[in-house]
Structure 1
Amino acid sequence: MTNNNEQGTYSSIPNSELEANNNMISDSLNTSFVDNVLYQFSRLKYVCLYSIIIIYGLIILFTLIGNFSGKDKHIPSKKILDFNKSINPVNGLKKVSFESVRANDLTPSYKPLQWLTEGKDDSEDKGLYSTLIGNKYMIKSVLDEKYEQLLFEGKTFMDDDLKTEHKVDSFISSPDLKFALIRTESKRLWRHSFIADYYILNVETKKLSKLFSSVTMVSFSPDSTKIAYVLENDLYIYDILNEKTTRVTETGSKNIFNGKADWVYEEEILESDSALWWSPDSKFVTFLETDETEVPEYSINYYIEKEGQDYPAYPELRTIKYPKPSYPNPIVNIKVFSLETKNTVTYKLDEPSQLVNEIVYLGDAKFIAKVTDRIATYMKVFVMDVFGNEKSLQRKQFDEDEWIELTHYTTYVKPNPEKGIKTDGYLDVIPVNGFNHLVYYPDLESKEFIQLTDGEWEVVDGVTSFDQQKRIVWFISTQKSSIERHLYYVSLDEPLKIHEVTDTSKDGYYRASFSSGSRFALLTYMGPDVPYQKVIDFQEPKEAKTLYVLEDNKKVRDNLPLYDVPVKKFQKINIGADENGEDIILNSFEILPNNFNPNLKNHYPVFFFGYNGPNSQQVNKVFSVGLNQVIASQLDAIFVCVDTRGTGFLGKKHRSLVRGKLGQYESSDFIKVAKIYSEKEYVDSEKTLMYGWSYGGFMSLYTAEQDAGETIKYHISVAPVTNWLLYDSVYTERYMGDAEENAFNYFKSSLQNMNRIFKAQRVLLMHGLGDDNVHFQNSAHFIDKAIQAKAKNFDTKVFPDSDHSISYHGAYNIVMDEIISWAGQAFNGDFKDRWTY
């Protein structure tokens, strides 16, 4: 499920136009009335006419007096709303608006940099990397800023044989930089996958020739001499030097995938279109054979996008195999193909319902496979060899209270005879005393491990880099703060002795990528101040040197003084005691509007934002200027973001209690936070709104049901899950368990009571009709229930052919505009005089 930070037909025209039209209609009606009076009474004495006009005027006057008597301070003001206010009259600075956001005035840039492998042992790390400069694909070196090698130049290229021009959609270099694949004519399938044509480029000769048509996955071998690809769900190996193709499988079909991830593996497990792994010596390929025969189909109509037709008479119907709770999952086998013998061996899973989470080669002949059960209560780590002779259980991880998060954190540790290490091992992240920490398994035949980090904090995203020569592990963690990220390292020879790399005396949110030998790193500072990128030399880890700044975001730094950007204030909110009497402390931030005055009474609206999916995080110290600041600047509202219980990086106790009960704790926490804000004197408690997208969309509607309009008056929901039986099995069952065994909570965690939801002042729902992730079926069920409940305080907006990101034909900007327009109308009181449930 997508973790979007910012992401129907109009129920009315935009508010400013609506007010102008209303004024015109009112003027017309008043003119007609006066003309009629003059016509009917033209022969009467003027005194009669004047009397009638005076009486009519008094009626209007008394009505106005009643409206402004103060009995109801929320009668709509009907002021014209302007959501693009450009200048703060107090200080003369620019205010943040969508115009400035879309102009990227305050949007930081991050330069792409892909480190290159420089030899099998990485002993000579020269810091070579590939990057895109303008329309040039270049090789550069961090040791020599003047060094550069041009791989390819251009955004388009010519097919000399066909005399046709093609767009460069993607450029993929071989590890040795002698060849490259150019992807073109791409048609997106799902989040990570395309069907496309590929041209191969000989970098030295510049010869470019078409290689593949309509393939769905490509992968260079580590030695750069072969390319694995998938055509019509069968796996092939192309030998570049001999220009020969070997067909690996012949079972590919609508239901059988070889080497390519199906929808649910791509979205929820592998996070890639590839289900293929090369051995380091390029002699073997391990891949998944995925059988979807028993998986039910889901169909999506595409109304606009049909190849070769601008206005298709019939929509294009696409189907995907999409498993939902209690329905069959795909069945996978692990297969290994030998390029020398052309033989394939098969490893079957112990149970057909099991999922393969990760495969990692540990040397040339062995690999580990991580396998979980369907509901993610255990993970088994198997050691297998490429010959089909070994399948041994190295360890089992079990957690009945929480869940096994599907991760890709395994890092190979080679033998080191000089240190007396003669066996293959690996690094991983596992829960230790309720927090995720680095561990080292030195022996594949033992479940015993060496703990490398410890404490009430967590390692984030596994191993950042591992220096095989120095035996140093680099990692990002929350050791200083759960909402910050700093870089550290630890040696395998000195476990638990943690060394700081970034300056923890200052607030910071960092990420890092290392060169193949771990000597060099691109260190990216993401906030809370203006981001920058530096290239660092870690030849001496304790005396790291900055070689140069790759990106300083000068444009953002120069523009910031011109804007009155509302300040983001981080805070911890105590919402009271839990069932055990312990205080519930939540991470949060608020953005106060320009010229905020705490002495005003019943004045400020509050715009609450939540995602709150399991193990997610929205409250962090990343620099950004977007929807959040636009809301505060343009609507004069307080923007509040909260990470409730169930979110990540605060340990198992904070996270795990939502297992089997999605939405129940999170909504309770959100309502308590909303009540705290509603009690503030400067807050208008009748102007509170909650917005969310995806899981956040579910949270907005679920909170509306629990709150029944008591605390949060307005709700915006984008692309929500409305019933967990309608979402995919892998995500849902990981957090909710088996649908039959936990039927009560499946019911309780889905939206049921429309009477309570529509006690809110008004609800806005938006969804893409082409959403392959959270199907529009979720919103269709909700709309049907709203119809049956005769709810009238309800607006919907749908987007043809848009997927979960709602971006087709520029729809994303429309969504953003609608959020601020609708929220502005809510805060303006325009919905108060309309019918409510």
Structure 2
Amino acid sequence: MVEDQPQTGYSSITSGRRDIEGEPMFSSEFTAPKGFLESILFQFNRLKYVLIYTLILVYGISLLFAIINKLTIPSETAKHKKILTFNESVNPANGLKKVSFDVVRSGDLKPNYKPLQWLSVVDGPSEDKGLYSTMDDNKYLIKSVLDTEYEQLLFDGKNFTFEGSEFKIDDFKSSPDLKFALLRTNSKRLWRHSYHADYYILNVSTQKIDLLVKNLTMVAFSPDSQKIAYVLNNDLYVFDIFKNSTQRVTESGSENVFNGKADWVYEEEILESDQAVWWSPSSDHITFLKIDETKVDEFSINYYVQQDAGKQIPSYPDLKTIKYPKSGTPNPIVDIKVFSLKSKDTVTYKLDEPTQLINEIVYLGDKKFIAKVTDRTATYLKVFVMDVDGSEKTLQRLQFDEEEWIELTHYTTHVPALKTNEGADGYIDVIPIDGFNHLVYYPNLSSDNHIQLTSGDWEVVNGVTSFDKQKRIVWFISTKKSSIERHLYYVSLDEPLKIHEVTDVSSDGYYAASFSSGSRFALLNYMGPNIPYQKVLDFKNQDEAKTLYYLEENKKLKENLPLYDIPEKKFKKINIGPDANGADIVLNSFEILPNNFNPKLKNHYPVFFFGYNGPNSQQVNKIFSIGLNQVIASQLNAIFVCVDTRGTGFLGKKHRSLVRDNLGQHESDDFIKVAKHYSAKSYVDSEKTLIYGWSYGGFMSLFTLQKDQGETFKYAISVAPVTNWLLYDSVYTERYMSLPEKNSAGYKNSSINNVENIFKAQRVLLMHGLGDDNVHFQNAANLIDQAVVKKVKNFDVKVFPDSDHSISYHGAYDIVMDQLISWAGQAFNGDFEGRWEY
């Protein structure tokens, strides 16, 4: 059934009908003749036409009733078929608007978070005025949370003019002293975090703009704001702003050698950034990575439709190749290099083994830095202390975990030496203690002895949020109250394990925070479960944080919410029974029941299951959001269920580590048990169960179907899935699956290799971008070929030219979402039942 439309009347059965009131019904009209014979003939003809019109009318009415009967009464082959309400705009029960994709895309129900970028321009809290950069009415501004009247204009406008040509500002980056800014334009995305782009330098005081260099792939201001490091053609350069001179640091850059710039796998999986450079605090040295991909195998991607605006599509596709190390194949070889801007010398630190990975580099003072190094399967972490002049490389600590893995993180925070303790620089990090990730303090660099700062059956999230160097206070976000909430706390280095609550833990909350350079001020983001807000806090007295003002209250969202009938999200813990050791498996989940839910109905509601479920991930949390989840419940009259299976994060090592070397096995078991739990409910139609996921979630939907064989899940939607872990990148895969030669059985058992089992379900939809540089279309092609070999018919495929892993090229993401709900609607409506048998 579609949305009600204005009634326009039925189409007339005869072509002679006119719709204008007062006009004759039929076009043929007769005048009575004068004679008897003529009268008889007239009556006969009249009777003939009446009979004809009567027969036509009876036939038409019968046909109409047959059509109506066909639409409203299920046939024997589809007696369980239900006509669901699609794209219904208003709930007839209460007159409120229902959530749809049109509503979601309008932004009426989306919370707003205003950007506030703190500026690192001071050394101590006495000077901390809480300076931050923001954009307001197309103006790039510096403001102060302490002095609300303070405002410094950096630049006015979204565009700039240089030598008579106008350019759009794609990104605006201020120097630490606020005297200069880098304007990025003509950006062409390279990978997830990187671009090819042209960069211009803005002199804030004069507003003069000069070209830095075109077609760069990385730029970074020095801490003293006088220099800019950049990468051109994979070589590193340093530009001196005041001297207007450029120093070339490397000359080895090539298609295979990257200097100061991350290659694909380092950008995607390790550094999570386009930068592989780190300035010393004094700006006298710059540490960078030299990444040699010579032995890394290439992967080629055809781009079929991308072209310059206004130009004709080329006759041949654009073939691009990237160095992409797949599981078990050679990784790039990486060296650590340090360049001295004074002596112009470069020193090199080589790794103990060429297969090792460099996870993080952090300066601890001006002369030393630490480098975190793991083996390629992430079973150990080595922390080395290195000197900028190449004279020292010592192993400070070794962290080993054969049962789980070393998660690649960037949590190290420098703790400067106290004045009373000469030379004792230290750092704060996160390590697993009794199975949970906690803060520890290493007071010096010559020992692995540490001071534990937090403890308990909960985890610190994303390391140190801020560190007050003067007060020696560590601010952090954790799951101390609940694994699906986030609250702000602090602990003092001088009083370890004494945890202080900052946010209100008596109420449910999911918070994030960012601090000013001196740690006196913070932007606190309340993200759910209720309407989000942002407020600025003053921690001059950390025990009594003062609210200065609200940066965002989401008043528009508050006004709009009462106009909508938004189905409620209910959080639950589901006990799915004992594990192999007899301990209960309890999973975090949430469900969204459809509008006007009636538990007394029998075999009525479809269930739409969603999961990502990658190692150490989390989907079940108390963040406010209204999107796909609510659209499914509102428009498909379905129950939406999200569950975090074993292997996901923030519940400790025991919960997540058992998936190592066996991706998919425990997660799919959990999904099937959860689905059986719902299918047993009297109001659920157990023939209308669907599982959906994207990326790792796409793998999970297929793998679960492969194991379930159509018994519990009847439909699946898989977007951009991994189908064989030998086809995915080495760094991610080997962290969780080890090397293929050491775990061949695990790789085989964790792949999609039995389509006969998968397609015992009613129907499957696969969607993938042809330009996906992350999860290559090769994964989808592998599955499609298996389906072709087995002559599978209950299979739908939709591909998107030139779209990457986000499937967004030319607005494709909206098409994916529309297709998702349309296809799920057909599945729940019974449109696919039995079709594949013919």
- 2:260 aligned partner: 259
Once structures 1 and 2 are overlaid, which stretch shifts more, 644-653 or 116-125? 116-125
Counterpart mapping for 1:322-361 below 5 A: 322-361=324-363
**1:671 maps to what in 2?**
672
Distance 1:145 1:64 in 2: 70
Q: 1:61: how far off?
A: 8.3
Q: Distance in 2 between matches of 1:199 and 1:253?
A: 24
Contact 1:306 1:316 in 2 (8 A): no
Query: For residues 245 and 65 of structure 1, do their structure 2 counterparts lie closer, same or farther at Cα, with a shift above 3 Å needed?
Result: closer
Aligned to 1:481: 482
Taking the TM superposition and a 5 Å limit, the aligned residue runs for 1:374-389 are 374-389=376-391
**Counterpart contact for 2:187–2:195, Cα < 8 Å:** yes
Query: What pairs up with 1:528-547 in 2 under 5 angstroms?
Result: 528-547=529-548
User: Does 1:107 find its partner at 2:118?
Assistant: no
Letter in 2 for 1:113: L
Equivalent residue, structure 2, for 1:775: 776
> Once structures 1 and 2 are overlaid, which stretch shifts more, 420-429 or 678-687?
420-429
Relative to 1, partners in 2 of residues 1:157 and 1:477: Cα closer, same or farther, differing over 3 Å?
A: same
**Which of 95, 118, 125 is 2:98 aligned to?**
95
8 Å CA contact retained: 2:2, 2:87 = no
CA-to-aligned-CA distance 1:472-495 (integer Å, 9 cap, x gap) = 000000000000000000000000
Q: Which residue is 2:153 aligned to?
A: 150
- One-letter identity of the residue aligned with 2:155: F
How far apart in 1 are the matches of 2:66 and 2:214? 76
Letter matched to residue 229 of structure 1? Y
1:132 to 131, 135, 150: 135
* Maintained 8 Å contact 1:118/1:124: no
Q: Could you say which residue in structure 1 is the equivalent of 2:28?
A: none
Look up the match of 1:311.
Answer: 313
Deviations 1:328-384 (A, max 9, x none): 000000000000000000000000000000000000000000000000000000000
How far 1:122 sits from its partner (Å)? 5.2
Tell me if the contact between 1:761 and 1:836 (Cα under 8 Å) persists in the aligned partners. no
CA contact (8 A) 1:791 1:836 kept: no
CA distance in 2, matches of 1:517, 1:67: 69
Secondary structure of the 1:784 match is helix
Query: How many angstroms apart in 2 are the aligned matches of 1:607 and 1:120?
Result: 53
The one-letter code matched in structure 2 to 1:740 is: E
Q: 1:618 to 1:74 in 2, by over 3 A?
A: farther
1:446 match: secondary structure: coil
Alignment partners' CA distance in 2, 1:558 and 1:310: 48
Offset, 1:132: 1.0
How do 1:402-417 residues align onto structure 2 when only pairs under 5 Å count?
A: 402-417=404-419
Post-superposition Cα deviations, 1:419-466, rounded to whole Å, max 9, x if no partner, equal x57500000000000000000000100001000000000000000000
Task: Determine the structure 2 residue equivalent to 1:400.
Answer: 402
Give deviations 1:471-521, integer Å, cap 9, x for gaps. Answer: 000000000000000000000000000000000000000000000010000
TM-score by length of 2: 0.92
- Corresponding position of 1:217: 218
1:536-575 paired onto structure 2 within 5 Å: 536-575=537-576
Q: Which runs of 5+ in 2 are unaligned?
A: 4-9, 15-47
Give the aligned partner of residue 231 of structure 1: 232
Q: Deviations over 1:221-244 (max 9, x none)?
A: 000000000000000000000000
Q: Name the amino acid aligned to 1:650.
A: L
The amino acid that maps onto 1:627 is L
The 1:66–1:181 alpha-carbon spacing in structure 2 relative to 1, beyond 3 Å, is closer
Residue 765 of structure 2 aligns with which residue?
A: 764
8 A contact 2:123–2:517 mirrored in 1: no
Change (3 A) 1:247 1:831: same
Which amino acid is 1:577 matched to?
Answer: P
Change (3 A) 1:342 1:571: same
In structure 2, give the amino acid aligned to 1:501.
Answer: V
Structure 1 residue 85 displacement after superposition: 1.2
2:606 aligned residue = 605
1:633 corresponds in structure 2 to: 634
2:658 match: 657
Question: Following superposition of structure 1 onto structure 2, how do residues 693-708 of structure 1 map, counting pairs within 5 Å?
Answer: 693-708=694-709
Conserved 8 A contact 1:409-1:462: yes
1:311, distance to aligned residue in structure 2 (A): 1.4
Task: Indicate the residue corresponding to 1:366 in structure 2.
Answer: 368
> What does residue range 294-305 of structure 1 map to in structure 2 within 5 Å?
294-305=295-306
- On the 8 A contact 2:430/2:463 being kept in 1, the answer is yes
- Is the contact made by 1:106 and 1:559 (CA closer than 8 Å) also made in structure 2? yes
Q: Tell me how large the CA RMSD over aligned residues is.
A: 2.4
Return the index of the structure with the highest Cα Rg. Answer: 2
The answer on whether the counterparts of 1:74 and 1:829 sit within 8 Å (CA) in structure 2 is no
CA distance in structure 1 between the aligned counterparts of 2:232 and 2:125, rounded to whole angstroms: 34
CA contact (8 A) 1:302 1:317 kept: yes
Deviation at 1:304, TM superposition (A): 1.1
Q: Look up the SS of the partner of 1:669 in the other structure.
A: helix
Q: CA deviation at 1:121?
A: 4.5
CA shift for structure 1 position 417: 2.7
Aligned to 1:789: 790
Who is 1:727 aligned against?
Answer: 728
Question: What's the counterpart of residue 195 of structure 1?
Answer: 196
Segments of 5+ residues of structure 1 without an aligned counterpart are 1-14, 18-23, 29-42
Distance 1:775 1:523 in 2: 39
Deviates most, 84-93 or 260-269: 84-93
The residue type equivalent to 2:688 in the other structure is K
1:40 match: none
AA matched with 1:486: H
Give distance in 2, aligned partners of 1:63 and 1:415: 83
C-alpha spacing 1:421/1:432, structure 2 compared with 1 (3 Å): farther
Query: 1-side partners of 2:679 and 2:422: how far apart?
Result: 62
1:385-419 per-position Cα deviation (integer Å, ceiling 9, x unaligned): 0000000000000000000000000000001134x
Q: Per-residue deviation at 1:156?
A: 1.0
Name the residue aligned to 1:180: 181
Structure 1 distance, partners of 2:633, 2:782, is: 33
* 3-state secondary structure, aligned to 1:560: helix
Shift in alpha-carbon separation, 1:74–1:805, aligned structure 2, 3 A = farther
Q: Deviations over 1:751-802 (max 9, x none)?
A: 0111100001000000011100000110011101111111110001111111
Deviates more, 1:313-322 or 1:359-368: 313-322
Task: From the superposition, tell whether residues 142 and 833 of structure 1 become closer, same or farther in structure 2 (CA, over 3 Å).
Answer: same
Q: Which residue identity does 1:653 align to in structure 2?
A: K
**Is the 1:513–1:523 contact (alpha carbons within 8 Å) kept by the matching residues of 2?**
yes
CA distance, structure 2, for counterparts of residue 332 and residue 99 of structure 1: 48
Distance 1:83 1:286 in 2: 57
Q: Within 5 Å, which residues of 2 pair with 1:750-761?
A: 750-761=751-762
SS at match of 1:740: helix
Determine whether 1:204 maps to 2:198: no
Displacement, 1:146?
1.3
Q: Give me the whole-angstrom Cα distance separating, in 2, the residues matched to 1:807 and 1:68.
A: 41
Q: Within 1, Cα distance between the matches of 2:276 and 2:419?
A: 34
The reply to whether residue 594 of structure 1 matches residue 595 of structure 2 is: yes
Residue 798 (structure 1) aligned with residue 799 (structure 2): yes
Cα distance between partner residues in 1 of 2:70 and 2:369: 81
Q: Which amino acid aligns with 1:260?
A: K
Deviations 1:282-312 (A, max 9, x none): 0000000000000000011111112363411
Matched with 2:719 is: 718
Q: Contact 1:571 / 1:588 at 8 angstroms: preserved in 2?
A: yes
Tell me the amino acid that sits aligned with residue 220 of structure 1: F
CA distance in 2, matches of 1:573, 1:618: 15
Q: Which amino acid aligns with 1:226?
A: K
Assess, with a 3 A threshold, how the Cα gap between structure 1 residues 707 and 123 changes in structure 2: closer, same or farther: same
Identity score, percent: 72
**1:76/1:833 contact within 8 Å kept:** no
Pair 1:820-2:821 in alignment: yes
